[in-house]
Amino acid sequence: MTREEIRGEVLEILKDIAPDEDLSNLDDKASFREQMELDSMDFLDIVMELRKRHRVQVPEDDYVELASMESTVNYLEPLMKDIQKV
């Protein structure tokens, strides 16, 4: 997957987890928590969706890497480079 495809996947997951949030002006460099009302369970949901949709394993120690869109895409890019967008 390309960086843009990964970003799109993360946006889809965020829309599912927080359907009332407006993601159209999401700042990729700012933390999700600063921009959205996400709690720790929501972050677990992101990790679980990545596992369910793409079999991507994110160890608990790496959850900090999912703080913003930019850091999430940077983290996921090497893990998802060989995954084909369906």
CATH architecture of 3-80: Orthogonal Bundle (1.10)
Q: What pLDDT was estimated at residue 86?
A: 60
What does the CA dihedral 27, 74, 49, 5 come to, rounded to 10 degrees?
Answer: 80
pTM recorded for the entire structure: 0.89
Token pair in block for residue 9: 């996947």
pLDDT in tens, 17-42: 999 988 999 999 999 988 998 888 98
Confidence band for 72, pLDDT divided at 50, 70 and 90: very high
